[in-house]
Structure 1
Amino acid sequence: MTGPDAQTVLRLEGVGRVHGRGAAEVHALHPVDLEVRAGEFLAVMGPSGSGKSTLLALAGGLDRPSTGRVLVEGAPLAGLNRAELADVRRRSVGYVFQSYNLLPALTAAENIALPRELEGVPARTARAEALAVLGELGIGELADRFPEDMSGGQQQRVAIGRALSGQRRLVLADEPTGALDSTAGEAVLEVLRARCDAGAAVVMVTHDAAHASWADRVVFLRDGRLVAEQNTAGQGTAGAVRR
């Protein structure tokens, strides 16, 4: 683990998710205990359908567990009403979706700035932050471009920028390098690594072992169960993580 302290940012206590009932019951995630601390980069790996995205959705409060509880910075999400939960997601949690979820009527900079403006940050400050994170991701030239005028990889980096803008204590990234070439993917991983080194907690779902080697720790899911865990150097060394 790296980072300035050992404060727990995310804790899952016996968290499981069941869909359906009776003969149609499906365990998307069997009860999992997991803790991610400030300054820690955690990678989640496993085959398709293993429960990776379910785990991430539960961790970010986008879905509610069937069993157990999720705590973000010590606060149990189950105890929050809808408005309070939305406030936690806006202020503390940055979420990178596989589908990008960019608003088509807004430019790249506006997509990134909007969540910050909803927090009460002045528009000029939010735009300055958006421009800074776009530059950090190497796509500053996209600031005033609309999603329809971007490639899939460019949209993905804008979505990552939206998740990283502001002081996010927890960043949840679902295959953040999936639509990127190797050079752009490495640049994104460097930014995520830097966020950890500055004190954030990052949880990244990935199928790529070389990308997982950027993490401090890797957990492996199979059939909705956490089956293995491995510490890594967190240095981005290809091949450092093996299934």
Structure 2
Amino acid sequence: MSETASAPPRPVLELRSLTRTHGSGTTEVQALRGVDLAVHPGELVAVMGPSGSGKSTLLTLAGGLDSATTGQVLIEGQDIGTLSRKDMAALRRRSVGYVFQDYNLIPALTAAENIALPRELDGVSARKARKEALEALTEMGLEAVADRFPDEMSGGQQQRVAIARALVGDRRLVLADEPTGALDSETGETVLALLRQRCDAGAAGVMVTHEPRYAAWADRVVFIRDGLVVDQTLNPAGAESLLGSIEGAR
């Protein structure tokens, strides 16, 4: 009796023929031009490329923070383009953790409150959300700033709070835009280890980075130039040389 091979797991994130155009006529800019990408459970993908290549646009579309001009974004099989604004917000709170370049912390809330808020909005009790927030801060080595407001923290501390907010709970997709940008190399490695750990536990991660040493934590490196995926590699050690060739071609 022949054995039937098990089907591969469904991607947590799938981008299908994704395009994003800004402006029109002489001011038209094609930020993305027909991007296809699938990220599966347990996989961490690093996105690299020159400045202005479309890396951050890819993340904002993947997280439902902007709408594609054409194409589809699917999160766990759900076409997010078909969702209402309310349902999209609920999906982001429940399933998507997003690390912004500019932190995007709420100034009137403490570090612990910033992390706990999305959980409370999704129905988790205030007590449990606070406990989860404190545990996330401890993982980041930030228990001392739990009750500080963003303007009482350094840029690096704010960045780690933003990362803790993205990783807390059971989110299946983590999107990170230059998550180590405000961190020293040692702290950056700690953050990447936590992101790697979350993916190893079954989440899918997409990280924009310009640093080959951080891309080395990924299972796959995707290279973008002028809104197009120009190459992919399963060998992160080759990221630095290939990125150099891409930049040299500009």
Bin for the TM-score computed over the shorter chain: over 0.9
Aligned residue pairs total 234
Secondary structure, counterpart of 1:68 in structure 2: strand
Note if 1:199 corresponds to 2:197.
Answer: no
Note if 1:183 corresponds to 2:196.
Answer: no
Which residue type is aligned with residue 120 of structure 1? Answer: G
The aligned counterpart of 2:122 is 119
The aligned counterpart of 2:168 is 165
Supply the distance in 1 between the matched residues of 2:22 and 2:105 (Cα, whole angstroms): 28
Supply the distance in 2 between the matched residues of 1:29 and 1:240 (Cα, whole angstroms): 24
Unaligned runs of 5+ in 1: 234-238
Note if 1:86 corresponds to 2:89.
Answer: yes
Moved over 4 A (4+): none
The aligned counterpart of 2:146 is 143
Which residue type is aligned with residue 241 of structure 1? Answer: A
Between the aligned residues of both structures, percent identity stands at 65
Deviation for aligned residue 1:6:
3.0
Deviation for aligned residue 1:240:
5.2
The aligned counterpart of 1:236 is none
Bigger CA radius of gyration:
2
The aligned counterpart of 1:14 is 17
Note if 1:56 corresponds to 2:59.
Answer: yes
Deviation for aligned residue 1:143:
0.8
CA RMSD in angstroms, aligned pairs only: 1.1
Note if 1:24 corresponds to 2:27.
Answer: yes
Which residue type is aligned with residue 194 of structure 1? Answer: Q
Note if 1:103 corresponds to 2:101.
Answer: no
Which residue type is aligned with residue 199 of structure 1? Answer: G
- Structure with the larger helix share: 2
Supply the distance in 1 between the matched residues of 2:56 and 2:99 (Cα, whole angstroms): 11
Work out whether residues 10 and 77 of structure 2, in 8 Å CA contact, stay in contact via their aligned partners in 1.
no
Secondary structure, counterpart of 1:241 in structure 2: helix
The aligned counterpart of 2:219 is 216
Secondary structure, counterpart of 2:47 in structure 1: strand
Supply the distance in 1 between the matched residues of 2:160 and 2:238 (Cα, whole angstroms): 25
The aligned counterpart of 1:46 is 49
**TM-score, normalised via structure 2 length:** 0.91
Work out whether residues 53 and 227 of structure 2, in 8 Å CA contact, stay in contact via their aligned partners in 1.
yes
**TM-score, normalised via structure 1 length:** 0.94
